[in-house]
Structure 1
Amino acid sequence: MEGCCNLEVDVNGEETFMVDKTIVTQYSSKLAKIFGKSSGANGKLKVIFHDFPGGAEGFELMLRFCYNNGKSNITPSNLLLAHCAAEYMEMNESVTNVSNLLDQTEKSLQGINFWTWSEILIGLKQCQNLLVDDSCVMLEKCLDTIVGRLVLASEASPCPSTCSNDSSSGIRFSCDSKSTESIKTNFARSTWWFEDLLFLTPLVVAMLVKSMLSSKMDHHVISRFLLYYQKAKFSTAMTDEKCKIIEMVIDMHYIMDRSSVSLKTLFGILRVTLCLNISKCGRNKLENMIGFQLDQVTLDNLLVPSPYGINYLYDVNLVLRFLKAFLRQGTGAVAPIRMKKVASLIDLYIAEIAPDPCLKTSKFLALATSIPDFARDSCDELYHAMDMYLEVHTQLSQEEKLKICCGLNYEKLSPQACLHLSKNKKFPSKSAVQALISEQSKLKNLLHATTTPISTPYNESLCGSSSASQKGKKDKTSEQLVLYAGNFDIQPDNEKLRAHLQGMQWRVMELEKICRKMQTQMAKMTKSKASGHSYAKSLPKLCS
């Protein structure tokens, strides 16, 4: 470098430069303000910069501009570095009427649309490496340019959304092998850029994805890119870096169209998070996304092992959070068929976890009672799960057993389940009585409804006007109904009803016998209670 080296410049402690103060100050308003209009002392001066953008490389690029009479060779590889250095040194308002570096960089940036793909990536790398505010403008321009190129490429070679519904579920086609191969090739063309953008940090990827979403890019392709990025980065990332990556992946999926994010993808992300301590916010977003689609989940999906330190075999709390997220949509906003699917799924899950000896009663009951009653057409599966739970947890008190039975709607038990429950010694006697009463009521209603169209003599026998006669025959109502059922005037094409009624006769007789025994026991208990003995603790109120 020519001239008198009378100025020492320490750049970020990386390197020291000896420069001509006069040459540099005529292009830099920052230095001109420091030294003023006077030429200064004859001795050497020293300036220390602690936060010069780009460090020694950026300062040297700025010097080349100054010592080359305000001329520079601006390329995509040094544009951002030169721009940030010019901004820092205030090279937009020179002391004399000379060319300024900031104007030159801004003019070059206007031609970014004409850059090649490689040149854009180089500029993007520099934007990412320079942690200064000035890089944000160029960073956004680089990202917008990249997205614009990808949108044009996808329009030129579109990828059917059916190909990208699921990253690993395979592709289904109804056309010939040539068409299949063509679609696969098109899909491969839509993902050619995945590898090129792996150098980006999670923060910049988030900015890129938001730009993609604003440009209406295919959400399925974006999701595939995020998963590709996460898998590639995890191979070399430390634990903290993995947390940042997976949280970014969750956040970006959360703002995407939910229909474009498959459950397989979400559960894949969930498995990754099991061994990572990600933020509570990120975990809640992931669980909400899964919970909103709970009616499409399978039992295998829900069988997630419990976190370290919890004795349960499976993570029951996770399933409860899924269920809470699903119900948060409101029963009015959820189609009945979806609610019934979730109820069936939860009943299967309860039956699966019931044999776990470490499962607390509160967790079992929370699952059993979390589903609205209208969502269950039958409670047989729930009863089956309760039966298994009581078989394993033999140490439960009567009060705890009754609490469990609170989740059971006896009206929705089949006759077989009611009969089984009435003889099941694992259940409290109160539950057995409730099941018998419920089944007896259902049978009477069914038979009464069936006898309605029968001829007058039978109607008079069943529905006599004498209240005294009805009272005397109260205990024999079911037996009478079954006896009369044998005389029904049933049409020949309704043999199924005849067989059903005949099959019900023995069940009614059996239930009546058991019910009478229970009623006798209840009468004794009531009489004993009136004598001063209290059964309040052993016999709490029945749960209906």
Structure 2
Amino acid sequence: MDASCDLEVDVNGEEIFFLHKNTVSIYCGKIRKLFDKSKGVTTNLKVILHDFPGGPESFELVSRFCYNNGKILINPYNAHRLLCAAHYLEMNETINGSHNLLQQTKKSIEEIKFWTWPELLSALKSSVDLVPVTSSSQIIQKCLDSIVARLIFASETSPSSCLSSSSPESSGLRLSTDSKSTESLRSGLLRSTWWFEDLVNILTPNVVKLLVKSIVVHKFDHGLTSRFLFYYQKSRFVNATSDEKREITETIIDSLSLLDQSSVSCKSLFGILRAALNLNVNKIHRNILERMIGSQLDQATLDNLLLPSPHGSSYLYNVNLVLQFVKHFLTAKSRPQVPISEFKKVTRLIDSYVAEVVPDPRLEPCKFLALVNALPEFDRDSYDEIYHAIDIYLQVHMELSDEEKTSIFSSIDYTKLSSETCNHLTQNHKFPPRFAALALTAQQVKLENLFHGMDVQKRFILPSTEMKAEKRHEQVVSNDGKEDIVVENEKMKAHLEGMQWRVVELEKVCRKMQTQMTKILKSKLTRQTSAKSLPRLCS
């Protein structure tokens, strides 16, 4: 050790520097203050620096600055280190009029708009790697803002102008010709995702959040941003531990929630959901994800909804999660602004889901009814699929109480059953007579309304048709076309006979259904009477 080196500096326990106290203390306010507190000590001076940003490499740069009379070449590759070190060592005092490292570094960083793309990436990566990261947050944010500005510029500028412009400002936007990112851009500059690969291995989850916030502020393409987030999750999952995967997933959920939800793929959201369920992400992030999925449930498919139940559950499918989706859908959608077709689409989706999960022998009646009644009745045009699901459910769950069965039977709107389904129901012994009677009554009302409509058609439409025929007849007569009169009369006669035949057929169907209803009621009463007269074989 040189005798003139009277100061020993331990940097993060990684490396020890031997320096001249006076040379260093002139520029480093933090070290100078330490000496001021211990004026009596002149030998064996030692300073231990904990959590020094950038470690020994950054402290070496500071030492060169001190030994070079406050001068050092500041460039995009060391600006971040010098800035953080200057903050840490309080190198903010002007010496000899111009030797303020903090000011010099900040001035250099203000020129960030002229840095090339690889210089930006290098500065961002080095800033992210600094410990602690908070000390480099200023330059990280400046790098991210500049990156977003480049992306916006690239999306609004043609490839030729982006590469050929020679103005000072555009020269700062042009990419370096010796980088991988430039080769990627040249080979597919028109591809909007050219920057994905450059950023995915640089950004930590915390910095991803900062990037998305900058994107939202600068109004960059939200759809492209969501694609990057899904790409980031997929790429970083390859070598990540479970804890790292959980952190990445929670970051993606947080970031996606900042975007316009119409720009986020519903299919990709379900992919994130499956990962979140396996990783047991915290409840707050799960709720955020469920709300995002619920808000666009009309874009989901049946396969998306068939999620397995949580570990340790007895039932097969995660019915509670689907009910949450429906709840969030109804909360997010306001009927006056949303087309009724979206509600009907979700209703058809839930009906298909009910039909798929109903064979599960562990599906409780309350959960089954919750699915059936999850959406308003007027959004369902037909109850045929619900009826068939109930029929299967009754076969699988034969131990249901009378009260549970009644609740299930009452969940059907019998006026929205087709004639085929109604006919099946009247012959289904699992349905009590009074519910079969409800179905037949509903069909009878439909027929009566139909007959009434036919009668109105006879009284109002047919006379109008006959008047038109008479006018045509008069026109034909005036032209002495006897053959045309015969043709028109034959067409009208055939039309009237066809309508009369349809009325007769409808009346036959009505009488047949009424007869079936009477027979069913009689047979039910007979079985109940005979059952009461039989002796009980088991107690």
When normalised by structure 2's length, the TM-score is 0.79
* Residues 445-456 of structure 1 mapped to structure 2, 5 A cutoff: 445-451=449-455
Matching of residue 111 in structure 1 with residue 115 in structure 2: no
* Residues 10-29 of structure 1 mapped to structure 2, 5 A cutoff: 10-29=10-29
Deviation at 1:357, TM superposition (A): 1.8
Deviation at 1:38, TM superposition (A): 9.1
The equivalent of 2:125 in structure 1 is 125
The equivalent of 1:346 in structure 2 is 350
Say if 1:157 and 1:190, in contact at 8 Å, map to a contact too. Answer: no
Write out the 4+ residue segments of structure 1 that deviate beyond 6 Å after TM superposition. 518-524
Matching of residue 77 in structure 1 with residue 81 in structure 2: no
The equivalent of 2:434 in structure 1 is 430
Distance 1:491 1:343, change over 3 A: farther
The equivalent of 1:415 in structure 2 is 419
Q: Distance in 2 between matches of 1:500 and 1:283?
A: 58
Say if 1:357 and 1:393, in contact at 8 Å, map to a contact too. Answer: yes
Say if 1:94 and 1:100, in contact at 8 Å, map to a contact too. Answer: yes
* Residues 127-166 of structure 1 mapped to structure 2, 5 A cutoff: 127-130=127-130, 131-157=132-158
Distance 1:105 1:453, change over 3 A: closer
Matching of residue 49 in structure 1 with residue 53 in structure 2: no
Q: Comparing 374-383 with 500-509, which one deviates more in the overlay?
A: 500-509
Q: Distance in 2 between matches of 1:496 and 1:342?
A: 40
Distance 1:503 1:292, change over 3 A: farther
The residue identity in structure 1 corresponding to 2:196 is F
Say if 1:5 and 1:18, in contact at 8 Å, map to a contact too. Answer: yes
The equivalent of 1:459 in structure 2 is none
- Give the secondary structure class of the aligned counterpart of 1:327: helix
Q: Distance in 2 between matches of 1:452 and 1:32?
A: 104
The equivalent of 2:172 in structure 1 is none
Distance 1:403 1:76, change over 3 A: same
The residue identity in structure 2 corresponding to 1:227 is F
Q: Distance in 1 between matches of 2:14 and 2:415?
A: 81
* Residues 303-314 of structure 1 mapped to structure 2, 5 A cutoff: 303-314=306-317
The residue identity in structure 2 corresponding to 1:243 is R
Say if 2:387 and 2:412, in contact at 8 Å, map to a contact too. Answer: yes
The equivalent of 2:279 in structure 1 is 276
Deviation at 1:326, TM superposition (A): 1.4
What runs of 5+ residues in structure 1 fail to find an aligned partner? 159-183, 456-489, 525-544
Matching of residue 194 in structure 1 with residue 214 in structure 2: no
Q: Distance in 2 between matches of 1:138 and 1:69?
A: 25
* Residues 218-367 of structure 1 mapped to structure 2, 5 A cutoff: 218-328=221-331, 329-367=333-371
Q: Comparing 122-131 with 401-410, which one deviates more in the overlay?
A: 122-131
The residue identity in structure 2 corresponding to 1:126 is S
The equivalent of 1:33 in structure 2 is 33
The equivalent of 1:487 in structure 2 is none
Q: Comparing 443-452 with 136-145, which one deviates more in the overlay?
A: 443-452
Deviation at 1:496, TM superposition (A): 6.1
CA offsets 1:500-533 (integer angstroms, 9 cap, x no match): 4333334333332344467679999xxxxxxxxx
- Give the secondary structure class of the aligned counterpart of 1:217: coil
Say if 1:157 and 1:189, in contact at 8 Å, map to a contact too. Answer: no
Distance 1:103 1:509, change over 3 A: same
CA offsets 1:54-98 (integer angstroms, 9 cap, x no match): 222222221111112212122222211111111221111157656
Q: Distance in 1 between matches of 2:498 and 2:290?
A: 48
Q: Distance in 2 between matches of 1:31 and 1:96?
A: 19
Q: Distance in 1 between matches of 2:456 and 2:26?
A: 110
Q: Distance in 2 between matches of 1:299 and 1:427?
A: 29
Residue from 392, 397, 413 that aligns with 1:393: 397
CA offsets 1:153-179 (integer angstroms, 9 cap, x no match): 222248xxxxxxxxxxxxxxxxxxxxx
CA offsets 1:345-373 (integer angstroms, 9 cap, x no match): 22222122222222111111111111211
The equivalent of 2:63 in structure 1 is 63
% identical equivalent positions: 51
Q: Distance in 2 between matches of 1:23 and 1:417?
A: 95
Deviation at 1:424, TM superposition (A): 0.8
Deviation at 1:407, TM superposition (A): 1.3
Q: Distance in 2 between matches of 1:384 and 1:318?
A: 24
- Give the secondary structure class of the aligned counterpart of 1:26: helix
Distance 1:51 1:213, change over 3 A: same
Say if 2:433 and 2:521, in contact at 8 Å, map to a contact too. Answer: no
The residue identity in structure 1 corresponding to 2:365 is T
Deviation at 1:44, TM superposition (A): 1.9
CA offsets 1:119-147 (integer angstroms, 9 cap, x no match): 11111112212225441111111111111
- Give the secondary structure class of the aligned counterpart of 1:111: helix
The equivalent of 1:384 in structure 2 is 388
The residue identity in structure 2 corresponding to 1:54 is G
Distance 1:496 1:17, change over 3 A: farther
The residue identity in structure 2 corresponding to 1:10 is D
Q: Distance in 1 between matches of 2:129 and 2:442?
A: 73
Q: Distance in 2 between matches of 1:499 and 1:53?
A: 93
Q: Distance in 1 between matches of 2:496 and 2:388?
A: 33
Matching of residue 511 in structure 1 with residue 513 in structure 2: yes
Say if 1:32 and 1:95, in contact at 8 Å, map to a contact too. Answer: no
Say if 1:303 and 1:314, in contact at 8 Å, map to a contact too. Answer: yes
Deviation at 1:11, TM superposition (A): 2.3
Figure out how many residues of one structure are paired with residues of the other and give that number.
468
Deviation at 1:188, TM superposition (A): 5.3
Q: Distance in 2 between matches of 1:100 and 1:2?
A: 28
CA offsets 1:326-351 (integer angstroms, 9 cap, x no match): 11123444322221222222222212
Q: Distance in 2 between matches of 1:404 and 1:31?
A: 80
The equivalent of 2:482 in structure 1 is none
The residue identity in structure 2 corresponding to 1:359 is L
Distance 1:218 1:453, change over 3 A: closer
The residue identity in structure 2 corresponding to 1:306 is S
Q: Distance in 1 between matches of 2:2 and 2:495?
A: 114
What runs of 5+ residues in structure 2 fail to find an aligned partner? 160-185, 460-491, 527-539
Say if 1:401 and 1:428, in contact at 8 Å, map to a contact too. Answer: no
- Give the secondary structure class of the aligned counterpart of 1:352: helix
Q: Distance in 1 between matches of 2:316 and 2:232?
A: 33
More helix, by proportion: 2
Q: Distance in 2 between matches of 1:353 and 1:494?
A: 50
Q: Distance in 2 between matches of 1:78 and 1:374?
A: 66
CA offsets 1:190-236 (integer angstroms, 9 cap, x no match): 22221111221011112112212322222232222222211111101
The equivalent of 1:484 in structure 2 is none
- Give the secondary structure class of the aligned counterpart of 2:278: coil
The equivalent of 1:171 in structure 2 is none
Deviation at 1:449, TM superposition (A): 4.5
The residue identity in structure 1 corresponding to 2:5 is C
